[in-house]
Amino acid sequence: MNNLDSLLNPKSVAIVGVSSDPGKIGSILLLNIISAGFEGDIFIINPKYQELFDRKVYPSIKAVGEEIDLVCIAIPSQFVEPVVDECIEKNVKSVIIISAGFGELNEEGKALEQRISNKVKKAGIRLLGPNCLGMINPLTKINASFAASNPIEGNIAFLSQSGAVCTAILDMSLSRNLGFSNFVSLGNKSDVSEVDLIKYFVNHEKVSVIGAYLEELDGGRQILDIASSSNKPIVMLKAGETEQAQKAIASHTGSLAGSVKTVKTALNQSGIIQVNGENEMFNLLMGFSWTHIPKGPNVAIVTNAGGPGIIATDTILKSGLKMAEISEESRKSIKDSLPDTASVLNPIDVIGDALAARYKLPIETLIHDDNVDSILIILTPQLVTQIEDTAKLIIESAKFSKKPIYAVFLGGKYVSFGIQRMYDAKVPVFDSIREAVDVISCMYEYGRYKDEKNEHPRFIPIDTAYTEGKFHHEIIQNSSHETGVLFENVVASIATEFGLDLPKQFVSSNIEEVAAFAKSCFPVVMKATTADIVHKTDFKAIYFNIQDDAALRANFYQLATDIQEKTGNNRPSILVQEQIKFEKEFFIGANRDGSKQVYSDNTGLGHLLMFGTGGIYTEIYKDLEQILIPSSSEFIEKKLERTAIWKIIKGARGKDVLAFDKVLNTIDAVQKMLIAYPEIISLDLNPVLVTIDRAICVDVKMFVR
C-alpha cells in the first residue's frame, strides 16, 4: 500500500459534492482549497452542473482525463460507495470521506463502512475518515477541510479523532501565532489511523512536535514502539476516562475506550506526554515548538514583584524542579546593576519600579550561568512598568539564548499587548505561573526521558521476553471454573514452569490424604480453593497455624461445612500449605487490556503489572506502582524504589536486607509468563511472602477469558 504522501501532500484534488450553494460542505471544501493557495490541479465532480464557481465541472471521477492523487467526498452516505468504486477504477491514490452516517450511526452504517474499507484496502487506496473534518497542510498550501480558517505554517503536526477539537485548537492558534505543518481529522479511522499518522510525522523533517486528541488507541503497542524510539515529543489528550464519557465515545465515533490506568501507564512509559485538557495541550505544543528543552531541572526566576516570585518558587519545588543556585560571580554582576533594595538571590527581584532596561543584565547573566538550565521571567503591571519594551527585551534575549526562556505576564488588559508581542515573536508566554511551570516541568521530564531511554530502555522487545509455554493453550481454556479462575493444579504447574517459588502444598477433598501430607510439614495453613472462594479472608475461608492432626481435622470439617453453606458444593477440595515464617508481604497483580492476541495483532496495550505492599490491606495502603509489560529490569527496579515496601525490603533503618533479588526475579518471571500465556486476563499473587532468602508465592490466582 502506498504511503501517505498522496493524502497529505497531493498534487491534484477532486471534490465530490460541490454545488451552487457556497454554504454546503462540498462547496466549502472547494473554496478552502482555493483560498489556501493550492497550486495543483482541482477537479469538481457533479453530474448536475457544467460549471461552478467559474470552474469546469466533470460528471464523474472517470470523466477526468488526468491522474488524481486525492478525492474528497462530501455527499450523503448512501451515495458514497459508488463514488469509491469509481475511484478504484480510476486508480485514485487516496480518498477523504467527509460524510457522516457510517459506523458511528448504526449497524447498517457500520456494514457500509466495512465494505468501503475492504474495497479501498484491496485496491491500495488510503482512506481518511469517514465522518471527519478533513486535513490541512499549510506547508504545501492545501486546506481539504471544512474548517473556518487556515492555520499558520509551522512545525507542529496535529491529529484528532474529533473534528471539533481540531477547529478549537486551530482557532486558539491563530491569535497566538502558533504554526502547524499538518492538521488531520481521523474520524472513524476506517483505514488511516493514529499509528499511520504518528509514524509519518515522526519521520517528517519539518515536524518538531506532534499533538493528538484520541478517544481510543488502535494498535496501541505500535504507538508505544514508535514513541519509545522517537526523538520528537508527542503530546496526547486521551478522552474517555469516565463511564459516561465512554458511552459518548461509542455514539460519537463508534469506538471504545481502553483501561484508564493502563493507558496512563503505557503513555508515560513510552515517553508520550498525556495532558488533561486543551489549554494544557496548547501550552505544551507552544513550548516544544518555540524553545529548547531544558537540559536540567534548575530554574532561575527574574521578577519585578516579590509575591509572584514566592508563588513561582513554591510551584517550581512542588513540581519536582529545583531552584537554581546562581553562581557567586553571577550574583555579584547582577547586584552591581540593581538598586540596593533589589534581591540577587533566586528569585532575582528587580523590584516594582523596574523599567525594561533593569531586566537586561540579570537575564543575560543567567543565560551564561552554568548553574541555570531555564529562565522564568515574571512581570506584573505597576504604574511605571514598560510592558511592551520589557517584552521586546525578552524577545531579543530569547533569540540568542541556548537555554529556554519562559515569560509570565500577570494581569489582563494592560499586559495583553506585551503578551501578543511575544506570541508574534514565538517566545513562550503565559498569564499564569502554574501553567508556565507545568510546561517547564513537562519539557524537562521529556528531555530526561530521552536521555534515560538511550541508557536504560523502559521496554524490552516482546520477542526477548517471550518463552513458549509448555502447557497447551487448550488445556488452560478448558481448566477454568465457570468464573474464569484456573484450578489450583494448573496454576501450580504454570507457576512452577516459570520458576515461581511456591510453598509445599496439597489439594484434596479427602481428610486422610490431607492429614498424610500435613504430617510432614506442620504447622500448616488450610484454605478454600480459588474455584470455591476467591477472596478467602473476606469469607473466613482460611485457617492459620494448625499445629497438629487434631486441629487439622477439626478445621478441615469446619471449613468444608462453611464452603458447602456458601457455595452449595457438597464435596469441596481443600488446599493445605506449609506455613511460612516471613518478614514482609508483597503484592504482584496484572490485568490485560485487549484480546488474548494482544501481543501478536496489536489489538490493545497488553498487561498492566502492579506491585507493592501486599496482604489483606493492599487496597487500603495503595503502596503500588505499575508498569506495562515487558519492561526492562532497570525500569522495574526504578519503579520499585518509589514504593515504601521496597525501602523496607532493602533494609531501611538498619533492618536486615530481605531477598529483593528474588522479588525482582518473581516480577520478571510473571511478565514472561503473561506473554507466554496471554489468555490470562488477570493475575493476583497476594501475598508473596518475603524472607531473607526467599520470595514465596503462597496465594496465586489466574483468571482466563
Average pLDDT over residues 467-487: 76
Distance CA(149)–CA(19), nearest Å, equals 20
CATH of the domain at 463: 3.30.470.20
Q: Are 15 and 48 contained in the same domain?
A: yes
CATH of the domain at 93: 3.40.50.720
Among the candidates 552, 578, 604, a domain finishes at: 578
Residue 519 lies in a domain: yes
Average pLDDT over residues 485-499: 90
* Residue 422 cell numbers, joined: 511575544
* Residue 288 cell numbers, joined: 516544544
* Residues forming beta bridges with residue 609, ordered by sequence position: 590, 627
Among the candidates 290, 316, 347, a domain finishes at: 290
Q: Is the pLDDT of residue 1 over 60?
A: no
Rounded to 5°, the CA angle 355-358-362 comes to 150
- Indicate the SS3 state at residue 564: helix
> Residue 243: which pLDDT band, with cuts at 50, 70 and 90?
low
pLDDT of 428 reads 98
Q: Are 377 and 252 contained in the same domain?
A: no
CATH of the domain at 342: 3.40.50.261
CB atoms within 10 A of CB 571: 9
Residue 371 lies in a domain: yes
Q: Are 561 and 624 contained in the same domain?
A: no
The helix or strand, by DSSP H or E, that contains position 266, with its residue range, turns out to be helix 260-269
Q: Are 306 and 432 contained in the same domain?
A: yes
**Contact between 677 and 469 (Cβ < 8 Å):** yes
Distance CA(375)–CA(378), nearest Å, equals 10
Residue 145 lies in a domain: no
Q: Are 7 and 87 contained in the same domain?
A: yes
The mean pLDDT of the chain is 92
Distance CA(672)–CA(470), nearest Å, equals 13
pLDDT of 536 reads 66
> Residue 465: which pLDDT band, with cuts at 50, 70 and 90?
confident
Average pLDDT over residues 584-598: 91
Average pLDDT over residues 443-466: 87
> Residue 242: which pLDDT band, with cuts at 50, 70 and 90?
low
Q: Where are the beta strands (DSSP E) in 250-297?
A: 273-275
pLDDT of 176 reads 95
Distance CA(580)–CA(524), nearest Å, equals 8
What percent of the chain is modeled with pLDDT above 90? 78
What percent of the chain is modeled with pLDDT above 70? 96
Sequence length of the chain is 705
**Contact between 203 and 8 (Cβ < 8 Å):** no
* Residues forming beta bridges with residue 179, ordered by sequence position: 152
**Contact between 114 and 130 (Cβ < 8 Å):** no
Residue 146 lies in a domain: no
Beta sheet of 524-528, edge-to-edge order:
505-508, 574-578, 524-528, 542-546
Q: Are 345 and 484 contained in the same domain?
A: no
266 CB burial (10 A radius; 0-12, 13-18, 19+): buried
pLDDT of 554 reads 95
Distance CA(203)–CA(193), nearest Å, equals 16
Residue 144 lies in a domain: no
**137 Cβ contact partners less than 8 Å away, ≥ 6 residues apart:** 8, 9, 181, 182, 183
> Residue 538: which pLDDT band, with cuts at 50, 70 and 90?
low
Q: Is the pLDDT of residue 339 over 80?
A: yes
CB atoms within 10 A of CB 186: 30
Q: Are 161 and 280 contained in the same domain?
A: yes
pLDDT of 532 reads 80
CB atoms within 10 A of CB 483: 9
| Largest Cα span, the chain | 101
Alpha helices by DSSP H, 456-534: 462-465, 473-477, 488-497, 511-518
Residue 680 lies in a domain: yes
Using CA atoms, how far residue 645 sits from 382, 585, 615, 669, in Å, is 52, 9, 12, 20
Among the candidates 578, 611, 641, a domain finishes at: 578
pLDDT of 250 reads 42
* Residues forming beta bridges with residue 309, ordered by sequence position: none
Distance CA(657)–CA(679), nearest Å, equals 36
**Contact between 46 and 16 (Cβ < 8 Å):** yes
**Contact between 26 and 74 (Cβ < 8 Å):** yes
Query: Exposure string (b/e) for 609-629, b if CB count within 10 Å is 16 or more?
Result: bbbbbbbeebeeeebbbbbbb
Q: Nearest-CA neighbor of 94 among 72, 116, 77, 114?
A: 72
Residue 194 lies in a domain: yes
Q: Are 366 and 426 contained in the same domain?
A: yes
* Residue 55 cell numbers, joined: 470552474
Q: Is the pLDDT of residue 386 over 50?
A: yes
**388 Cβ contact partners less than 8 Å away, ≥ 6 residues apart:** 417, 418, 421
Q: Are 590 and 474 contained in the same domain?
A: yes
Q: Are 494 and 444 contained in the same domain?
A: no
- What confidence tens digit (pLDDT) does each residue in 224-233 have? 999 998 999 9
Distance CA(502)–CA(591), nearest Å, equals 22
Q: Is the pLDDT of residue 69 over 80?
A: yes
- What confidence tens digit (pLDDT) does each residue in 89-108 have? 999 999 999 999 999 989 99
Residue 52 lies in a domain: yes
Distance CA(584)–CA(405), nearest Å, equals 48
**Contact between 545 and 576 (Cβ < 8 Å):** no
Least confident of 63-72, 393-402, 442-451, 524-533: 524-533
Distance CA(100)–CA(97), nearest Å, equals 8
Average pLDDT over residues 237-254: 56
- Indicate the SS3 state at residue 33: helix
- What confidence tens digit (pLDDT) does each residue in 5-26 have? 999 999 999 999 999 999 999 9
pLDDT of 246 reads 52
- Indicate the SS3 state at residue 543: strand
Q: Where are the beta strands (DSSP E) in 293-428?
A: 298-303, 322-323, 348-349, 374-379, 405-409
Q: Are 442 and 320 contained in the same domain?
A: yes
* Residue 220 cell numbers, joined: 496501541
Residue-number span of the structural domain to which 387 is assigned = 292-454
- What confidence tens digit (pLDDT) does each residue in 572-581 have? 999 999 999 9
Query: Exposure string (b/e) for 491-508, b if CB count within 10 Å is 16 or more?
Result: bbbbbebbebbebebbbb
